[in-house]
Structure formats: structure tokens, C-alpha cells
Amino acid sequence: MATYGAKALTRIAVASQANFGTAASIGTALGEILFNDTIGSLDLGITVDLGETISVGKRTAIQASQPTIVAKQPILTIAEAPASLRTLPIIFDAIGATTSGAGPYTWSWSPTQGDVDTLLFESFLVTDGVQKYLIRDAVPTEITLSADANGLVQAGATFAATVAATSALSFPTAIPTNQFLPGRLMKLTTTSTFPSKAAVSPTATDFSSIYNFNLSITTGVGMVTALDASLTAATAALTGNLDATLTFTYASNTAGVTTTFPITAIGTQKFLRLVGTTSDNYGLWILGSWTIENIVPLSADTDGVVVNEVTCRLAYDTTSGKSLEVIIDSPLATAP
């Protein structure tokens, strides 16, 4: 087997499809250009059977006329870059986020637990600086969010798709103002019940000694391949579990070590609320129910302070019926 390698990308635009199998229109006035710091890679996912087992009688193992393409499974990876609160909702829109409000617009992703969410497929126009490619039927399989105290909140995503083809389409020319969120505006709060955006539970405790966090979400989306007379996937569906890992470091002080995250907390449930807002009322909320998987004192220090690292695993809360919510207050009214 042989797989065509990844191509580095320098520009990405996105638009929502009306139907699976039909690419969305992208042009100078159609679609949303992702902010300039966005980079990524495209793996065309073309798998080839070289026919090595049928070259009987010839010294050369591979005959030029025998290789056969057996699958086309493109993967688009958007590397972690500063997360624009304007374009970040587009990723979650693909897996069932809803929007409300009149500016800032509130985008809420609260995945269902006993059923499946409706996927919204997206088209991407990307370029490696030389050639442009149109990617269709894309849905995120993994999403990452992270921040530290000395930079902006970062975001990245991996999209599975069905088709990637060369394209002559034009990129959108409008570049709206993007709102970015400094990492040091994020704050962690522990609560006694599943937290909400507007308020936290009665016994909420703000924890002000967090230095960084990293959230990795596995959406459970998978491409469905079938004997359907096509080399591409028949569709995409929620075929796997929703899963997520949250890690963060905090100062090894009395509040953290003995009260909030003692070693006795390993294996117990924690409700955590990570929130950050800008001065113009845009923001990000990460609300979740977690099981503490590990707590490790780090040998290195941060700014002269010894820090501990906490690893949490997403855990379904039977009382609220939830496990994770991501909410974004954004200037984006509707998905492109």
C-alpha cells in the first residue's frame, strides 16, 4: 500500500454545505476566510494497491500497469493557532452547535448523551501557496483548545472528508475583524454541580493559580465506508464515543494541594468551569464533568513556583445528564 503524503497549507476558507456530497460555493463574496495565522496540512488519503503479488515471472516486483487506487480518504488538519472568537464557532457548528442572541451571538455545543447529533458538513478551499484544493463533506473528528498565561487562547481541529480536488475557485476577499482572547483572561472555577454559563453552583470556588490548560476533544465522528460503487466514504456518522482529556498546571500552594486538588482527589468527580471574556463582551466557556485521572508534581518550576499537573478525563454526570459544554460568545451571526 502507498499513501499520498501531506501538503502544508498557507490559507484556508470554509463554507457550510447544504447536503452531503455537494460542495458549498466559495468565492470572493462567499465563505469565511480563516484568520491569517491559520495553517495546516492536507493529506489526500489516496491509498494504492501496487499489485506486488501478481508480478510472477518478472524480476521487478511492481508492474507499471497494475497499481490500483483502493480508497480516497482526505484528512484536513488545522494546526493550533490563535483562536478567533469569530471563526471558532464554525468548527462546533459542524457537530451540532446552536446559536442564539443578537450580538454577541451565543454559540452553544452541548452534545446529546442518549442520541446522536445532526452533523453539518463543510467545504474548505485551501492552498499550499501554489495549488488550490477544494475539500468537501468535512466534519471534525478531533478539536483542541489550549492557553497559557503568556499568549492567546489557541485552537486546532482535524477534519475527515470525502473528496479533495484541485480547484480554480477564488478565496473570499472580505476579512472581518477577529476577536482574540488572551490566555490570562481564562479562569478556572470548581463547582458542586454541573456549571452553567450565567451562574455556577452555590459552592463554587474560583481557583486563581492556573498557569495553562489543554483540552483535547474526540467527537466520535467517523467516516462510513461501504460497498457503494465509490472509492470515497458513503457518509459520516457519530460512530464512536464522545471523549475528552483536560490537563492543566497550577501552583503548588495550600489551596491547590490540600483543598482543591489533593492527591486524594484522584479517581473522583470534579465539575470545572473554564471561562474567559474580553472587554467587548466576547468570550469562551468550557463547562464539564470530569474524573481526576492523575496529579503529578512537576520537577520544573514556573516563574520560580513549583507547579502540579492535573489530568482529567471526561465523565458523564448522571444528575445533570451532561458531560461537556462549549459556549462561545461571537460576532458571527450565522455559519457561512
Q: Which three cell numbers stand for residue 51?
A: 499489485
Q: Which residue has the higher pLDDT, 121 or 4?
A: 121
pLDDT on residue 253 = 63
CA distance 142 to 245: 11
User: In the prediction, which pLDDT does 299 show?
Assistant: 66
**Helices of type H across 194-297:** 254
Q: Give the pLDDT of residue 2.
A: 42
Of residues 238 and 24, more confidence is placed in 24
Mode of pairing for the β-strands spanning 187-191 and 269-277: antiparallel
- Nearest-angstrom CA–CA distance, 285 and 111: 15
pLDDT digits (tens, 9 = 90+) for 153-170: 999 999 999 999 999 999
* Residue 237 CB-density burial (10 A; 0-12 exposed, 13-18 middle, 19+ buried): middle
Give the domain range for residue 223.
Answer: 2-172+180-330
The C-alpha atoms of residue 127 and residue 287 are separated, in whole angstroms, by 35
Specify if 139 maps to a domain: yes
Reported pTM: 0.91
Does the residue 16 lie in any domain?
A: yes
Rounded Cα distance between 209 and 211, Å, is: 6
With residue 70 as reference, give the H or E element that holds it. strand 68-72
Q: How many domains does the chain have?
A: 1
Give the containing element (helix H, strand E) for 148: strand 132-148
Give 74-134 as a DSSP string.
-EEEEEEEE--TTTHHHHHHTTT-EEESSSSEEEEE---SSS-PPP--EEEEEE-SS-EEE
CB 132, CB 167: distance < 8 Å: yes
pLDDT of residue 3: 45
- Check: CB of residue 36 under 8 Å from CB of residue 13: no
Q: What is the mean pLDDT of residues 105-115?
A: 89
pLDDT at 129: 84
Kindly state the cell numbers that stand for 149.
498565561
Task: Let me know if residue 336 belongs to a domain.
Answer: no
Query: What is d(CA 79, CA 232) in angstroms, rounded to the nearest whole number?
Result: 25
Structural domain contains residue 102: yes
* Mean model confidence pLDDT for the chain: 88
35 has pLDDT over 80: no
- pLDDT of residue 1 exceeding 70: no
pLDDT above 90 covers a percentage of the chain that reads 54
Instruction: Give the pLDDT score at 274.
Output: 95
Q: Which tens digit of pLDDT belongs to each residue from 229-285?
A: 888 887 878 888 899 999 999 887 655 566 678 888 899 999 999 999 999 999 999
Of 17-31, 43-57, 73-87, 279-293, least confident by mean pLDDT is: 43-57
* Residue of higher predicted confidence among 273 and 4: 273
Give the per-residue pLDDT at 214.
Answer: 97
Reported as a single tens digit per residue, the pLDDT across 285-300 is 999 999 999 998 876 6
Residue 123 lies inside a defined structural domain of this protein: yes
